[in-house]
């Protein structure tokens, strides 16, 4: 019954495309203009602003010798209304909706959750096999707070040391959403040696909704910068 404390609703893959056809979605996946979320429908853009020829999106790989300048834009998921939209109820019926998803569906309101901060991860490629990997992975390298007002968080950062180091480097970002209740967001919820697992059988309360506040997030594909020839 303890397995019930680790079942989660699953993550999502998001793609940047001009349309929703199969070909356009696969094209976005192949050029790596994609990002993942922990489950909420968070919006995320991560771009290199001063690339030769103009803006380069997440997933790009290019030869670059200057100080890179990046911009991140993120918007939180819509706050959910209880129950299911009318069209879903009309199509499936309340009895089937209750059996499939306990009477709750994707039912967005008009207001978005706030993105609280953006974390930047910088990873430098090994130059020799004996070079310590731990020192090359900076997670997070920077933490950028989002403005308290507005639904869209937009932050910028640069890396003046990139040109000086002259090494292959990748950057990716995480957009962290304000805490919201999530199924099994707390695992077995242990505190001071006492654990409260979610409902599994008669040993635990069937009335437990298994919700704990958790910071949902989205993380981008990296941008790869190569001081030598592009690959």
6-34 residue pLDDT tens: 877 789 999 999 999 999 999 999 999 99
207-225 residue pLDDT tens: 888 888 999 999 999 999 9
Indicate if the pLDDT at residue 230 is higher than 50. Answer: no
pLDDT at 2: 65
Hey, which residues does 194 pair with through a beta bridge? Answer: 191
Q: Using an 8 Å Cβ cutoff, are 5 and 195 in contact? A: no
Indicate if the pLDDT at residue 55 is higher than 80. Answer: yes
The structure tokens listed for 197 are 């697992």
pTM for this predicted structure: 0.88
Query: Per residue in 45-84, is it b (16+ CB within 10 Å) or e — as a string?
Result: bbbbeebeeeebbbbbbeebeeebebebbbbbbbeeeeeb
Indicate if the pLDDT at residue 129 is higher than 50. Answer: yes
Kindly state the percentage of the chain with pLDDT values over 90: 76
Average pLDDT over residues 74-83: 96
157-174 residue pLDDT tens: 999 999 999 999 999 999
Quote the CA–CA distance of 181 and 200 in Å, as a whole number: 20
Beta strands of the chain (E only): which ranges? 12-15, 34-37, 43-48, 56-57, 61-63, 69-75, 78-80, 108-112, 115-124, 137-145, 152-158, 169-177, 180-183, 190-191, 194-195, 211-214, 217-220, 223-226
Quote the CA–CA distance of 179 and 2 in Å, as a whole number: 25
């Amino acid at each position: 019954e303890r397995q019930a404390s680790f079942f989660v609703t699953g993550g999502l893959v998001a793609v940047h495309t001009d349309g929703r056809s199969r070909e356009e979605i696969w094209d976005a996946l192949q050029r790596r203009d994609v990002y993942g979320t922990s489950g909420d429908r968070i919006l995320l853009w991560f771009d290199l602003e001063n690339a030769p020829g103009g803006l380069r999106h997440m997933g790009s790989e290019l030869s670059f010798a200057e100080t890179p300048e990046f911009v991140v834009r993120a918007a939180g998921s819509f706050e959910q209304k209880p129950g299911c939209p009318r069209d879903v109820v009309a199509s499936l019926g309340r009895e089937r909706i209750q059996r499939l998803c306990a009477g709750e569906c994707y039912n967005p309101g008009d207001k978005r959750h706030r993105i609280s901060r953006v974390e930047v991860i910088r990873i430098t490629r090994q130059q020799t096999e004996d070079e310590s990997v731990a020192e090359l992975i900076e997670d997070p390298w920077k933490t950028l707070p989002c403005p308290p007002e507005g639904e869209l968080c937009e932050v910028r950062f640069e890396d003046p040391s990139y040109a000086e180091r002259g090494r292959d480097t990748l950057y990716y970002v995480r957009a962290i959403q304000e805490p919201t209740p999530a199924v099994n967001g707390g695992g077995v919820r242990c505190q001071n040696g006492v654990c409260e697992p979610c409902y599994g059988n008669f040993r635990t309360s069937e009335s437990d909704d298994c919700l704990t506040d958790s910071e949902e997030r989205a993380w981008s594909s990296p941008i790869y910068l190569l001081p030598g020839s592009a690959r």
